[in-house]
Structure 1
Amino acid sequence: MEALMDKLTGALGGVADKVNGWRYIIVIKNAFYALIPVIICGAFGTLFGTMVFDTQTGLAQFGPLAFLAELKPIATAVSYVTLSFLTIYVVFLMGLELGKLNEKEGFFPGIVAVMSYLAVNPSTYLATDDSGASMLVQNVLAKQYTDTKGLFLGMIIAIAAVELYCWLCKSRALNFQMPDTVPPNVSRSFSSLFPGAITVAVFATIGFAFHALTGMYLYDVIYAVVQQPLMNVVQGLPGILLLMFVAQVFWVIGIHGNQMIKPIREPLLIAAITANADAFASGHALPNIITMPFWDMYMSFGGSGCTLGLLIAIFLISKREDQKAIAKLSAPCGIFNINEPVVFGMPIMLNPILAIPFIITPLITGTIGYFATAVGFAARAVVYIPWPTPPILSAWLATAGDLGAVATQLVCIVVSILIYLPFVKISNRQQVVSYGEDAEASEA
């Protein structure tokens, strides 16, 4: 059994190393790391717009505070310039990161990526007024190309454009040589002139040719064939549970599970919460149950594996001083959903007893959260809250003050404690047996 576990650990570890070392995975992860402040800023713009400045749902509905409604355009502007332009920011940041990996410093790779992405999208929009009359508006960029609906096309174009640009930069024939007296910054700018222009022209030509041949834009195909099907899989309960299961298995063998699934999880679940935030701000029905806050609220409270339940179970029944000591040290971090001290200190990693509840608990609590939300007991998340937000507060903020979500998260915490309790008891017995055997050996 031990040999089999070693083989499995080695095999999964090798897969993890290859995935984490792939240049495009690095680029995607770094870009989304950099975007976290933007997303949170936009989320709080939505939160304040609805809970403070709105005359129907916010503090502005009360007479003495009615003046707050006049300030709503501020929150609307913050939300718009953040959440409605996520694809543009992702494309630019991915261009920067891939440029660095190709040893092209500066901002120009990011600019090339953005220009190439914009070049494949139309600059016209067919607008329809209330009477049903249509009018073609020119020199505009429709919202679906800048918000999260264009995310996957943007990621593809960013990678392809910067790779082409960096490859063209290696050609001496395309490098514009300047005299030595010209400042280095100016010289570098001119050396990027022809590779950048050719790259943008290539993608503009691809966009034009694709539309001429098919009558559709690249956005239409990528969204319908790639992004929407993936969104549908993750929005289904089996899909999100499978993603969580994979993450937990990697944690158990000592690999950061969230890092492994981040390139898949982040684009889809961030797109889902952004769509909810837009719908909420517009007064429309919220489209998505499973979002990034859903993951944090119901499947990762206390950290991966819902280890807040483990800490409480240890405080309740553990007889092991080593577990109690680790739990005391880990509790302050666990409140803010940081649980590396538990995972590696308990340890849960490669521990056949605690690994079982560590894997199954988020699957069960996620199922509870899903059905509570699906039946309408808990509201759908509308605010992308920071992941270290403590439980209970996280549910209240993410759902714009819904008590059903708070109650559901409380139920999930209680369930997690009940799941971990028998395994903590088993770990107590194992230590007692171990000490008994040691005592018998010493007497002999």
Structure 2
Amino acid sequence: MQTGFMGKLADVLGRFATKVNSLRYIMVIKNAFAALIPVIITGAFGTLFSAMVFDNENGLAQINGLGFLVDLKPISSAISYVTLSFLTIYAVFLIGIELAKLNKVSGVFPGVVAVMSYLSVNPTVYEFTNADNLKVVAENVLAKQYTDTKGLFLGMFVAIASIELYCWLGRQDKLQIKMPDTVPTNVSTSFSALFPTILTVAIIATVGFIIKAATGMYAYDIIYNVVQKPLEGIVQGLPGILLLMFIAQVFWVIGIHGNQMVKPVREPLLLAAIAVNTEAFEAGKEIPNIITMPFWDMYMSMGGSGVTIGLLVAILLVSKRDDMRQITKLSLAPGIFNINEPVIFGMPIMLNPILAIPFIVTPLVTGTIGYVATSLGFAAKAVVMVPWPMPPIVNAYLATAGDIGAVITQIICIIVSILIYLPFVKVSNKVTTEVA
């Protein structure tokens, strides 16, 4: 009965997953944000050095004889600025290239078209009130909110719209400039892109102008306030992030990579959240976001999806099955680095009605513990984006720029995960054959 139900569920969700993953814009966004990870981590390490090396209050610069390190802080500040403060520009560029590839247009120039199109819908006049309460108008500038993570969703929309238009225009024979065969290929290609480029940027800029004229607001204001900000609010709440994790875990259980399924929603929002935290930390401001990409890794994915580090320890403690113990021994080394496919598919957890329950429940419980500890101030909010294979304990320490409360909270979460998995491992002792 259970097997029949699980089989039907796997079939239905499998078809759904295949359909979602085949959507062209989902593929483009996933690929673009995967390529952005080195940018974010580079910026994060700039912040890490700023706080733990170049700072004269908490870093190495406070040590006698190393005070000169504080003079090097502008280096780390510059690294943080050129990475995190321009994340939207990089995302637009990469999305342009990825989408053009799907449209059989090679090269990096579509990325340039996407960036030009995005910039054309944003204002270059910035008004603000200075310290003397005087209104200042700065012309020919691009305000930071249009280049950092606040512009991500508008950037994604404009990049997709502009490249679809550019590629369609590029297929129109009437817009092609024919060059003699003696002209070098790169020159001929450039001239072929001339009219599609002019028309694409002109049309996108015109749409931006019409939106401003009709509503009194720039496209950025509409998209950020109507789409991006509400989504950020949902994911920043505990129910929203638990729902996202629950969906990922269900897909894992039926044999589909759960993280890949939620990535198009998770990456733009959680990567943006950690970028905002990093910038605030660098500027010495209050850290705004509890839930970030490192939060997901620190409290909801220790040892990999399902917090299977708890399962491995539970098996070593109480399992009497040789097959499970053998798989655990093989899985320990990759598990330390949060790689747990050997556990999911080898134990297996996939389609296993016994181990699937704690696999789904555990990250929801540990995520709740992490959220409560952070909201109460016991654990610091994450300010540094660390690579996801970073081992537990180390990742909590680095992600929070050396906060011991976060480390203690993560240790508590690991202990809780062991306690959750223990009774299910004991039940598995009574099962002589694998449940499939």
TM band (smaller chain) = over 0.9
Alignment correspondent of 2:164: 163
**Is structure 2 residue 245 aligned with structure 1 residue 244?**
yes
What pairs up with 1:146-295 in 2 under 5 angstroms? Answer: 146-295=147-296
How far apart are residue 205 of structure 1 and its match?
Answer: 0.8
Q: Could you list the per-position Cα deviations for residues 293-350 of structure 1 after superposition, in whole angstroms to 9, with x for gaps in the alignment?
A: 0000000000000000000111111111111110011100000000000000000000
How far apart are residue 51 of structure 1 and its match?
Answer: 1.3
How far apart are residue 127 of structure 1 and its match?
Answer: 3.1
How far apart are residue 72 of structure 1 and its match?
Answer: 0.4
**Is structure 2 residue 24 aligned with structure 1 residue 27?**
no
Q: Could you list the per-position Cα deviations for residues 36-80 of structure 1 after superposition, in whole angstroms to 9, with x for gaps in the alignment?
A: 111100000011111111222222123321100110010001111
In the comparison of the two structures, how many residue pairs are matched? 433
Q: 1-side partners of 2:274 and 2:32: how far apart?
A: 18
Give 1:380's aligned amino acid: K
Question: Which secondary structure does the structure 1 equivalent of 2:303 belong to?
Answer: coil
Q: 1-side partners of 2:429 and 2:6: how far apart?
A: 23
What pairs up with 1:123-142 in 2 under 5 angstroms? Answer: 123-142=124-143
Alignment correspondent of 1:438: none
Q: 2-side partners of 1:168 and 1:59: how far apart?
A: 57
Alignment correspondent of 1:373: 374
4+ long deviations beyond 4 Å: none
Q: Could you list the per-position Cα deviations for residues 102-160 of structure 1 after superposition, in whole angstroms to 9, with x for gaps in the alignment?
A: 00001111111000000000011113321111211111111100000000000000000
Question: Which secondary structure does the structure 1 equivalent of 2:65 belong to?
Answer: helix
Q: 2-side partners of 1:336 and 1:136: how far apart?
A: 51
Give 1:142's aligned amino acid: A
How far apart are residue 3 of structure 1 and its match?
Answer: 2.6
Question: Which secondary structure does the structure 1 equivalent of 2:430 belong to?
Answer: helix
How far apart are residue 210 of structure 1 and its match?
Answer: 1.4
Give 2:169's aligned amino acid: L
Any gaps of 5 or more consecutive residues in structure 1?
Answer: 436-444
Give 2:325's aligned amino acid: K
Q: 2-side partners of 1:280 and 1:77: how far apart?
A: 14
Give 2:188's aligned amino acid: S
The percent of aligned pairs where both chains have the same amino acid is 69
Give 2:307's aligned amino acid: C
What pairs up with 1:253-402 in 2 under 5 angstroms? Answer: 253-402=254-403
Any gaps of 5 or more consecutive residues in structure 2?
Answer: none
Q: TM-score, normalised by structure 1?
A: 0.96
Give 1:226's aligned amino acid: V
Q: Which moved more, 1:303-312 or 1:277-286?
A: 277-286
**Is structure 2 residue 32 aligned with structure 1 residue 5?**
no
How far apart are residue 358 of structure 1 and its match?
Answer: 0.2
Question: Which secondary structure does the structure 2 equivalent of 1:312 belong to?
Answer: helix
How far apart are residue 7 of structure 1 and its match?
Answer: 1.7
Question: Which secondary structure does the structure 2 equivalent of 1:64 belong to?
Answer: coil
How far apart are residue 5 of structure 1 and its match?
Answer: 2.1
Q: 2-side partners of 1:381 and 1:5: how far apart?
A: 37
How far apart are residue 430 of structure 1 and its match?
Answer: 1.5
Give 2:24's aligned amino acid: R
How far apart are residue 359 of structure 1 and its match?
Answer: 0.2
Give 1:251's aligned amino acid: W
Alignment correspondent of 1:442: none
Give 1:146's aligned amino acid: T
Give 1:343's aligned amino acid: I
Q: Could you list the per-position Cα deviations for residues 198-236 of structure 1 after superposition, in whole angstroms to 9, with x for gaps in the alignment?
A: 000011111112112222110001000000000000000
**Is structure 2 residue 85 aligned with structure 1 residue 84?**
yes
Give 1:189's aligned amino acid: S
Alignment correspondent of 1:420: 421
Question: Which secondary structure does the structure 2 equivalent of 1:166 belong to?
Answer: helix
What pairs up with 1:400-439 in 2 under 5 angstroms? Answer: 400-431=401-432
Q: 1-side partners of 2:7 and 2:307: how far apart?
A: 26
Give 2:145's aligned amino acid: Q
Q: 2-side partners of 1:377 and 1:255: how far apart?
A: 36
Q: 2-side partners of 1:213 and 1:430: how far apart?
A: 67
Question: Which secondary structure does the structure 1 equivalent of 2:105 belong to?
Answer: coil
Give 2:128's aligned amino acid: A
Q: 1-side partners of 2:167 and 2:181: how far apart?
A: 23
Q: Which moved more, 1:340-349 or 1:124-133?
A: 124-133
Q: 2-side partners of 1:57 and 1:145: how far apart?
A: 32
Give 1:271's aligned amino acid: A
Q: Which moved more, 1:121-130 or 1:261-270?
A: 121-130
Q: Which moved more, 1:239-248 or 1:182-191?
A: 182-191
Alignment correspondent of 1:46: 47
